Amino acid sequence: MNRRTERLPTGTGTGGGSDTGAGRASVRPRSRRRPVLLVWLVAVVLLGAALQLVRGGSGLVDAAGGVLYALAWALLVALLVPRARAVTCAAVAAGVGVVLELLQLTGLPARWSGQLPPLRLLLGTTFTPWDLLTCLLGAALGGLLLARRTPR
C-alpha cells in the first residue's frame, strides 16, 4: 500500500441482512486537495501583500488586488469545505466580496480600521463601484481555477 492510500473497514456486521463487505477493507486514495489549496491560498495572499507595497501604482494595481482578494475567498471556502463544488466556492466568494464592498457605504469599516489598522486590508474603507466588478471577476477566476486545477 503506498502512502497516498488508506485502508478503510467496510461493513459493520450489524443488522439482519448479509454483510457483503465483512472481513474486507476498501482502499480509498487520500485527497491532495487541501495541501494544494493551502499553497495556492498562501501564494495569493503573498502576492496581494506584495501589491500593497506598490500603492503608488495605477488603478490596474488596485484592480489586481481586488481580483486576488476574491480569489483568496474562493480558495478559503474550498479549503474549509473540501467537498464544495467550484461554483459554490465562487458564489460564496462573490457574495462575501459584494457584502463587504457594500458595507463600506456605511462607513463602519473605516471606523473599525481606525481602531485596528489591519482590518483595512480585510474590510477596505472606501466604496468603489469598480471593486464590485473586480470582486466578481476574482470569484469567477477562483471558480474556474478550482474546477480545472485542483485534485480530488
Kindly report, residue by residue over 10-40, the tens digit of the pLDDT: 554 444 554 454 555 544 445 677 899 999 9
DSSP-derived secondary structure letter, 55 = T
Q: Measured between alpha carbons, how far is residue 79 from residues 16, 88, 133 in Å?
A: 40, 12, 24
pLDDT of residue 71: 96
Q: Measured between alpha carbons, how far is residue 63 from residues 82, 91, 123 in Å?
A: 28, 19, 16
pTM of the model: 0.73
H helix or E strand, kind and range, residue 5:
strand 5-9
